[in-house]
Structure formats: structure tokens, C-alpha cells
């Protein structure tokens, strides 16, 4: 009886996360994919329903035969969507690189700080999450606009003669993404660096290794899991970002999040927008699979 209960509880621990994924990931994805295979209609919701349970098995088979990939073909024919995907990936990749350049020194400094002040430093990194994301992005409008705080400061210091045009450009988008997602980069980096054995650096220096060389040969390789985790946590949401390019970017800032919003709300073309969302999800699966493979190899090497 005890073995049966133990077997049941061990399986229950596995079933619960799979049930969570089924209910909150696979089921919504199937709904979006189902809409992407339908056609637009003057109705509410504005598409012809497919895979409807009320149709029964016969209706299900009939609807299955009516499925069409025309919406995906439309995305391939229209360069707007391809350019939006490419632009989103490029902006997200550049923003991730900039976030890594800024976040790594912060995480390294936190890991090297005395243990008594590390919790305070960690709280300061998490502190922005206590404020609304939308309010934090809006605050950058007041900072970056021509008559904003940044230009007023530079003008008062005599560094510039005319206000800089930063708002409504890709530079403003980079600033917004780096600022908003910096904690997601710092936290996994700090976790990796904080657990690192400091005696390895001391051993490298005792063997005549300069500090810079010791960092690149010992510290940085050991922090690679944190680097990859931080890059994934920044890159994946940045690709589909909508609020930052909509508020800080200009009309020339083309990202798939804004295109997706326009299709859903302005054009009311739910099938095409669902196809856009489905392809976006498939694009984001690639870095996730890459991260899992790297983690699996790291675990094998650790054993």
C-alpha cells in the first residue's frame, strides 16, 4: 500500500506541471493555430469557426477538409511581415547584447561585494519591478523628448547646442528595452557568479595569470550558463515587444508586436494575425531549444 501511494505521488508530481503546460500553453496555442487556419468573416468573432465541438465528429471531418494555409502563404507574399520579423530579431539581438554589456559588470560587482550588502544590492536590482512597467516606459518619454530632462542637462552643461532627436527613433527603443529588461540579465548572471569558487581565481593568479586573462579563462567560462539564461530572458520577450516600440519608437520602427496589434485591432483580421503569432512562437522556440541543449551538455560535463 505504501509503495502504491509513493508511486501515485511521484507520478502526481510529474502530472501537475504537464497539466499546467497543457492548460495554459498548448491549449491557447491550439486555439490560435485553429484561428490561423480559418478565413475572415463579418461576424463576432470575425472569422469562420473551425474545429467547433458543436459540429460533432462529422462536422469536424468536414471542417478538417476545409483547412487552408492561405494566411501563411499571404505572410510569405507580403514583404511587410518578413521585414517585421527580421527587424524584430535584429532589434532584440542588439538590445540583448547591450543589456549583457551593461548587466555583466553589475552582476560581477554584486558577486564581488561583501556578503553583508549583497541582499541590499539585489533588492536595488529588483526595485524597478515594484513600479508599473507602463509608467516606467512613459517616464522615458519625459527624459528623451527634445525638451526633456536629458537635453536640458546637456544644453546646460554646454555639451550640445541644439536638442538631440532621440525619441521616436530606434535608439529610444534600445534604451527602453535595455532599461526594462536589465534585471532579467543581472539576476541569472549574479546567480552564476555568486556560486563560483573564488579559489579558482586565486590559483590562476598564483600560477602567473594576469587578472584580465584570469577573468576570460576562468570567470567568464564558468558564468556561461548565466549568460545564456540572461540572454534568453531578454531576447525572447524583446522580439515580441509592443509597448516600448509603440511609445518610444517612431513610425519607421517596424517590429512584429506592433504589426500583430494592427492586424488584430485595426484591420480586424484575426486569421492573419493568428498566423503571425504562430510563426513568431516557432521563431522563439529555436533559442529555447538551443538553451536546453546547452544546459544538457553542461549537466553532462558537470557529471
> Which pLDDT does position 250 carry in this prediction?
78
For residues 231 and 96, the answer to whether their CB atoms sit within 8 Å is yes
> Which pLDDT does position 6 carry in this prediction?
66
Q: Which of 287, 284, 275, 272 is nearest to 239 (CA)?
A: 284
Cell digits of residue 81: 511581415
Would the CA dihedral through 108, 113, 115, 120 be positive or negative? negative
> Which pLDDT does position 197 carry in this prediction?
79
User: For the chain (length 303 residues), average pLDDT per consecutive 10?
Assistant: 62 78 81 81 73 57 66 83 90 95 94 90 89 89 90 88 88 94 94 84 79 85 89 91 88 84 80 86 79 70 58
163 Rama sector, left if φ>0, alpha if ψ -120 to 50, beta otherwise: beta
> Which pLDDT does position 204 carry in this prediction?
78
pTM as predicted: 0.83
How distant, in Å, are the alpha carbons of 51, 63, 107, 278 from that of 48? Answer: 10, 10, 51, 18
Amino acid at each position: 500500500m505504501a509503495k502504491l501511494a509513493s508511486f501515485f505521488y511521484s507520478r502526481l508530481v510529474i502530472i501537475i506541471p504537464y497539466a499546467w503546460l497543457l492548460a495554459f500553453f498548448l491549449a491557447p496555442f491550439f486555439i490560435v493555430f485553429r484561428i490561423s487556419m480559418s478565413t475572415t468573416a463579418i461576424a463576432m468573432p470575425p472569422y469562420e469557426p473551425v474545429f467547433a465541438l458543436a459540429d460533432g465528429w462529422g462536422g469536424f471531418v468536414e471542417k478538417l477538409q476545409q483547412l487552408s494555409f492561405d494566411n501563411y502563404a499571404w505572410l510569405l507574399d507580403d514583404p511587410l511581415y518578413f521585414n517585421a520579423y527580421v527587424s524584430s530579431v535584429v532589434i532584440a539581438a542588439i538590445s540583448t547584447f547591450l543589456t549583457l554589456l551593461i548587466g555583466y559588470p553589475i552582476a560581477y560587482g554584486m558577486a564581488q561585494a561583501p556578503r553583508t550588502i549583497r541582499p541590499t544590492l539585489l533588492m536595488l536590482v529588483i526595485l524597478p519591478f515594484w513600479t508599473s512597467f507602463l509608467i516606467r516606459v512613459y517616464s522615458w518619454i519625459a527624459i528623451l523628448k527634445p525638451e526633456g530632462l536629458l537635453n536640458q542637462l546637456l544644453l546646460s552643461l554646454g555639451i550640445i547646442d541644439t536638442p538631440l532627436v532621440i525619441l521616436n527613433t530606434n535608439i529610444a527603443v534600445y534604451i527602453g528595452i535595455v532599461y526594462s529588461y536589465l534585471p532579467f540579465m543581472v539576476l541569472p548572471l549574479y546567480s552564476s557568479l555568486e556560486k563560483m569558487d573564488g579559489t579558482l581565481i586565486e590559483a590562476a593568479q598564483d600560477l602567473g595569470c594576469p587578472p584580465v586573462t584570469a577573468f576570460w579563462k576562468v570567470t567568464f567560462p564558468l558564468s556561461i550558463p548565466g549568460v545564456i539564461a540572461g540572454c534568453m530572458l531578454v531576447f525572447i520577450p524583446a522580439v515580441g515587444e509592443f509597448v516600448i516600440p509603440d511609445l518610444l519608437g517612431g513610425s519607421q520602427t517596424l517590429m512584429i508586436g506592433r504589426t500583430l496589434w494592427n492586424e488584430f485591432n485595426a484591420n480586424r483580421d484575426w486569421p492573419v494575425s493568428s498566423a503571425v503569432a504562430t510563426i513568431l512562437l516557432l521563431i522563439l522556440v529555436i533559442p529555447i531549444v538551443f538553451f536546453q541543449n546547452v544546459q544538457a551538455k553542461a549537466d553532462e560535463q558537470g557529471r
